[in-house]
Amino acid sequence: MKMYSDYHVHTYYSDDSTYLMEDVIKDAITKGMDEICFTDHVDYGIKKDWNEGPVEYLYGQPQVNVDYPKYFKEIESLRKKYPEIIIRQGMEFGVQVHTIPRYQKLYERYDFDFIILSIHQVNNQEFWTQDYQKGKSQQEYMEGYYQEMLNVIKKYKNYSVLGHLDLMTRYDEIGNYPFEKVKPIITKILKIVIQDGKGIEINTSSRRYGLKDSTPSRDILKLYKELGGKIITIGSDSHKSEQLGAYIDEAKELLKELGFGFYYTFEKMKPIFHQL
């Protein structure tokens, strides 16, 4: 029996979504999903925790992390209310090297099924606002992004998969940076991921952003397989109802095309494989 799951889902606990957690579950059941994992945003360095004072705004968006006690309490309540679907509790950690100690403390404080490690900022500069790219050549910001990722995963190990590994392509206004130029550093990153028993995700939001390739790219997925990588999750990166579960089947077909036999879900930070 084929598993239908979505392992990158944002709700109103993320500052860029108004999607109610219970509505996510209702929609997931309607769409025939077997399992879902909540992965709301935590971005230390640029955002405060909910109890650290007045909320700041950037380009109209509130800059605040998950309200952790309410988050886990609601997940527990929904698990009891909707036993017909498996509900996993995760988060998306937007880690930077200088914020690692805060994530270590947060990870130790709560029980997680799954953690996406993403690089959303470098030196507290956002990609989506172009603040990070400003004043840099394409080579500088592309290589700087991957260097931050490499530096982070050398030091931080409390995660399950690397999220949208080539995220910078989404915000690269120049576009078409040759894969061969970043292949050496991506190879280093993937070797550490594999050695540490971690994985990567296919993030299907590449379709709604109109990108020409998957996220991560086919080149990265092929390289991951060549290096012996096996653990891959699939997530929509949804923030609203119409995005939930989008293009999951398409991502499975891509994995099969590239020679992968399985994709993964997680329970208590342990990977569980499912046949494609």
pLDDT tens digits for 8-23?
A: 999 999 999 999 999 9
Cβ neighbours of 100 (radius 10 Å): 17
Q: Average pLDDT of the chain?
A: 96
Which mean pLDDT values do the consecutive 10-residue runs of the chain (276 residues) have? Answer: 91 94 98 97 94 81 90 98 98 98 97 98 96 97 98 98 96 94 98 98 96 96 98 97 96 97 97 96
pLDDT of res. 99: 98
First-residue to last-residue Cα distance in the chain: 10
pLDDT of res. 58: 75
Angle value at C-alpha 41, between 40 and 42, nearest 5 degrees: 130
DSSP-derived pairing of the beta strands 232-235 and 199-203: parallel
pLDDT of res. 56: 81
Three-class SS of residue 270? Answer: strand
Tell me the C-alpha distance between 71 and 162, whole Å.
22
pLDDT of res. 1: 59
Q: Which amino acid is at 249?
A: D
Q: At what angle do helices 68-81 and 21-30 cross, to 10 degrees?
A: 30
Closest Cα partner for 68 from 108, 96, 29? 108
